[in-house]
């Protein structure tokens, strides 16, 4: 009888009652989705090497004191944002809020997560202002602040945060304050962008003002209206940010730590300067528009006076010709030999007299 040959793995399986897993190679690292611009772990204000998956990065910060993860997203999809929400414990309303764009600047508390919304702004260069020129491009960025994480979600093409990350990483003393340091850096960057855009818009306003009050008056009213719309859009991005910053400064329990409050106060002061400049630009542009409309009204009035003057001269000729064209039998001068030339002379004399009178009164 031939003995059954039992392989070693089967013998071990029978002995232990369970399968022995086959040897495996190294576990492959997970890659971040395309919407992730950057992901890093910060410990004591310094970035740790690498760019780990956001779930692995957050897991590393849970058991380490003075550590947090900064996840940067740009126009994430619903699936990516839902996965991020599950990893960081965000509620459904916060996830939905992060997916939408066009938000108004605000700050609110969603459980243990603070949501800060800011508007981004960027100047669009153009050689000549037209009725379709885009002067200011706006977007928004949402900052989600937790105990060990900060998530920045950016919508739109402007307001990239790469420079913010580079600058704040060179200041470990500020980063050591935790996630709120990132919120401060983002707010400071947005206010700096406001001031930069305001400087460019000021030059556009100067050119518009020069064109309106120049002798040739080449400014088109449609171009000015387009600039007005762009300034109003810029104003809607800048002015509403004042209230959220005041809320952060007035609520120390839920706001930034004490070490960052002075820095947030400095951002608020610079924002006030930006608000004053944008408000003054809006008022100045309104005055320019009113001046241009007044000029158009004056030009139309001058045109109407010229038309009325020429109409009066033509009416005089028509009146004289109409009287002598009635052909009644007993009209004076009908039988006069020089009646025709006399009528023409009278018409010419009346036209010259009226023309001089209208020229003297600036109607012609």
Residue written as token pair 């810029």: 234
Tokens at 299, concatenated: 């030009």
Alpha carbons 194 and 237: distance in angstroms, whole number: 9
Half-sphere exposure of 118 (CA within 13 A, CB side): 28
pTM: 0.75
Model confidence pLDDT, tens digit, residues 241-283: 999 999 888 877 778 888 899 999 999 999 999 999 999 988 8
Query: Looking at the domain that runs over 300-360, which CATH code has it been given?
Result: 1.20.58.340
Read off the pLDDT of residues 222-245 as tens digits, 9 standing for 90 and up.
888 888 888 989 999 999 999 999
Confidence class of residue 116 from pLDDT cuts 50, 70 and 90?
A: very high
Q: What is 36-297's CATH number, 3.40.50.720, 3.30.460.20, 3.40.1440.60, 3.90.550.10?
A: 3.30.460.20
Kind of pairing between the strands at 67-74 and 149-155: parallel
pLDDT at 323: 77
**CATH 1.20.58.340 occupies which residues in the chain?**
300-360
For CATH 3.30.460.20, the residue range(s) in the chain are: 36-297
Spatial CB neighbours of 213, under 8 Å, sequence gap ≥ 6: 291
What whole-number distance in Å separates Cα of residue 161 and Cα of residue 169?
12
Decide which of 339 and 41 is more confident.
41
- What's the pLDDT tens digit per position in 63-83? 787 899 999 999 999 999 999
């Amino acid at each position: 009888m031939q003995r059954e040959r039992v392989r070693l793995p089967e013998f071990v399986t029978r002995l232990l009652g369970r399968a022995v897993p086959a040897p495996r190679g190294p576990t492959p690292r997970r890659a971040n989705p395309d919407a992730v611009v950057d992901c890093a772990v910060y410990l004591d204000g310094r970035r740790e090497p690498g760019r780990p998956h956001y779930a692995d990065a957050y897991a590393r910060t849970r058991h380490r004191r003075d550590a947090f993860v900064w996840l940067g997203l740009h126009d994430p999809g619903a699936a990516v944002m839902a996965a991020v929400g599950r990893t960081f414990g965000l509620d459904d309303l916060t996830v939905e809020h992060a997916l939408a764009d066009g938000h108004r600047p605000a700050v609110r508390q969603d459980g243990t997560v603070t949501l800060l919304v800011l508007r981004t702004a960027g100047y669009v260069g153009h050689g000549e202002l037209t009725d379709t020129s885009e002067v200011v491009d706006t977007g928004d960025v949402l900052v989600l602040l937790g105990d060990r994480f900060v998530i920045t979600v950016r919508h739109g093409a402007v307001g990239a945060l790469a420079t913010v990350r580079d600058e704040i990483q060179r200041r470990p003393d500020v980063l050591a304050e935790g996630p709120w340091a990132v919120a401060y850096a983002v707010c400071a960057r947005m206010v700096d962008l406001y001031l930069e855009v305001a400087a460019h818009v000021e030059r556009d306003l100067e050119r518009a003002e020069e064109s309106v009050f120049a002798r040739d008056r080449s400014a088109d009213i449609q171009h000015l209206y387009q600039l007005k719309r762009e300034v109003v859009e810029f104003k809607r991005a800048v002015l509403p940010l004042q209230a959220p910053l005041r809320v952060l400064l007035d609520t120390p329990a839920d706001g930034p730590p004490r070490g960052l409050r002075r820095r947030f106060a400095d951002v608020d002061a610079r924002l006030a300067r930006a608000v004053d400049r944008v408000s003054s630009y809006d008022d100045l542009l309104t005055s320019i528009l009113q001046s241009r409309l007044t000029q158009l009204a004056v030009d139309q009035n001058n045109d109407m006076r010229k038309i009325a003057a020429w109409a009066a001269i033509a009416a005089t000729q028509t009146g004289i010709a109409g009287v002598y064209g009635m052909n009644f039998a007993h009209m004076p001068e009908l039988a006069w030999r020089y009646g025709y030339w006399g009528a023409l002379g009278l018409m010419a004399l009346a036209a010259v007299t009226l023309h001089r009178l209208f020229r003297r009164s600036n109607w012609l």
